[in-house]
Structure 1
Amino acid sequence: MTRTKLERNVLLQPYLKWAGGKRQLLPEIRKYLPKKYNTYYEPFVGAGAVLFDLQPSRLVINDVNIELINTYKIIKSKDGVEALINLLKEHNSQHSKEYFYMIRDEDRKDDYKNKSDVEKAARLIYLNKTCFNGLFRVNSQGQFNVPFGNYKNPKIVNDIVIKAVHKYLNSADSFITNQDFEEVLKTAKKGDFIYLDPPYDPVSDTSSFTGYSLNGFSKEDQLRLRDMCVELDKRGCKFLLSNSATPFIKDIYNEKGFNIKTVSAKRNINSVASKRGKIDEVLVMNYVNEEKP
């Protein structure tokens, strides 16, 4: 069975800024998307640039970041989305450098665990829109530690986009979860399509972005993901994977005979301004002749 297309929503786009987001790479990714598939899986969904561009009618999205996944669940819920927008308006009305650090420091207090899911979702979105470079980074205690962004007019309340995401997640057959990628992909079967956008293999010893989750994503995790791609291929699934064009990544997928395309992507999120710009990445897939003119 192939997917039934939903009516395309032109308002649908990421509601967060995200390190490694795929907006800049979308023109390349579109070239290699399968023409037909059943359920769409995205185990490392992040801000969802590919998801919201593709707009599949059946989807399973996941991320190891529990705070991030909480925002998706709140936006999908009928009562949660309105409460979220109202809380974001409150944050917007009080926004200042001092207010930012007060909200940022909430997860350093014992009563943070007593906050509601919608309060936590509003906090994450507020901090994401107002912190430096839109990063999500936590320290070894799991506390958000990105400094103030000092933007003149940050777009804290984008209710049009949030409502578009709410409508889409409820119009589609959508399942949202917070697990390890291996657990999520246990249910993927023949005819399904999986887009994989893991934390990238660092291009140097100093470039690793490890603060996204407490556990990071190691070379062993990259190999575990590669082995999962082999398993998906055996099941008759199609997968497309993005990663940095390091010798390690190219070697581990080359040795399994997968199709590898090198593409250039623009990166705007980096703490060092001189390191922002075009860098080589790879798209790895287990199919050929899918490129669209």
Structure 2
Amino acid sequence: MVHLSSPSALRPFLKWAGGKRQLIPELLKYVPEFGGQYYEPFIGGGALLLTLQPERATISDRNAELINCYQVVKDAVEDLIQTLQQHRNEAAYFYEVRSWDRHSDFATKTAVQRAARVIFLNKTCYNGLFRVNSKGQFNAPFGRYKNPTIANETVLRKVSAYLNQANVTIRQADFATTMAAAGRGDFVYFDPPYDPVSTTASFTGYYRNGFDRTEQQRLKAVVDELTQCGCQVLLSNAYTDFIQDLYRDYRCVRVSANRAINSNATKRGKVDEILVMNY
């Protein structure tokens, strides 16, 4: 049984577009007590997982590099830290490491090397944004930070300890595939790529293949199925007319969240989001 008097929250080891660290106080108001398994099929930075620290969890994402990071943090955190300590906050070096996924020998890199690359780029790129182009190649520019913490040993070790002490399954999978195993008494948190708030505001560049409104509708059908089988579901999304209409039969709450990741500085700050619940 998960109660909301969880141990002190762990910090995410990655800054992720749409990450929920700023929204955690609001989310916790609506997280139910549950006796089953916790599921988070769009894991991202994992802020809610690391706050709740459930004893049984399944986390997943379609992003292979992201899932590899979690697996390496769980299985080889000391090797990861050692490798991260070898990376340098220099522009030429940054672009050299960024270019790895443009070469055929990228497939020969070890899991630890790939995970360290993602964390290094995340800590040193502009605005800490995991962003890829249409070919799935990392394309955020160098951030020019004076002294970023590339290897946060304390955070990495604490997250690794949780992933090992709890029963946490880590999968690279589509959300529908992950949710096929969920049942009565389980709790699911969906934090998909958000519906764009305007025709020009697309926040899905970090997510290869995009997540359009057809995908949003497919996700809603999974929410319906989970509701019928007795799962408790909480979902975050942008407060748009499309999402409000899509989930009109569910309990919906409007909340404000701080958004730090946007290429346009004037668009950072408070934005409206929607929380959808089936309980």
Q: TM-score, normalised by structure 2?
A: 0.97
Match of 1:217 among 205, 211, 224: 211
Whether 2:97 is the aligned partner of 1:103: answer yes
Match of 1:75 among 73, 76, 83: 73
Count of residue pairs the alignment pairs up: 279
Whether 2:243 is the aligned partner of 1:249: answer yes
Give matches, 1:1-20, under 5 Å: 2-3=1-2, 8=7, 10=8, 12-20=10-18
Deviation at 1:214, TM superposition (A): 2.3
Is contact 2:17–2:130 with CA below 8 Å preserved after alignment?
yes
Spell out, residue by residue over 1:160-215, the C-alpha distance to the aligned partner (whole angstroms, 9 max, x if none).
Answer: 11000110001101100011000000000000000000000000111112322321
Give matches, 1:18-29, under 5 Å: 18-29=16-27
Provide the residue aligned with 2:255 in structure 1: 263
Q: Secondary structure at the match of 2:169?
A: strand
Provide the residue aligned with 1:290 in structure 2: none
Give matches, 1:57-206, under 5 Å: 57-77=55-75, 80-91=76-87, 94-206=88-200
Q: Secondary structure at the match of 1:24?
A: helix
Q: Secondary structure at the match of 2:59?
A: strand
Q: Secondary structure at the match of 1:239?
A: strand
Spell out, residue by residue over 1:231-280, the C-alpha distance to the aligned partner (whole angstroms, 9 max, x if none).
Answer: 000000000000000000000100xx210000001101000000001011
Deviation at 1:82, TM superposition (A): 1.0
- Any gaps of 5 or more consecutive residues in structure 2? none
In structure 2, relative to structure 1, the CA distance for the partners of 1:11 and 1:214 (3 Å cut) is closer
- Partner Cα distance (2:241, 2:247) in 1: 10
Is contact 2:259–2:268 with CA below 8 Å preserved after alignment?
yes
Letter of the structure 2 residue corresponding to residue 243 of structure 1? N
Letter of the structure 2 residue corresponding to residue 157 of structure 1? A
Is contact 1:3–1:58 with CA below 8 Å preserved after alignment?
no
Q: Alpha carbon RMSD of aligned pairs, Å? A: 1.4
Provide the residue aligned with 2:201 in structure 1: 207
Is contact 2:122–2:128 with CA below 8 Å preserved after alignment?
yes
- Partner Cα distance (2:81, 2:4) in 1: 29
- Partner Cα distance (1:82, 1:24) in 2: 29
Deviation at 1:36, TM superposition (A): 2.4
Whether 2:236 is the aligned partner of 1:230: answer no
- Partner Cα distance (1:37, 1:51) in 2: 15
Q: TM-score, normalised by structure 1?
A: 0.93
Provide the residue aligned with 2:41 in structure 1: 43
Q: Secondary structure at the match of 1:242?
A: strand
- Partner Cα distance (2:9, 2:42) in 1: 22
- Partner Cα distance (1:245, 1:270) in 2: 17
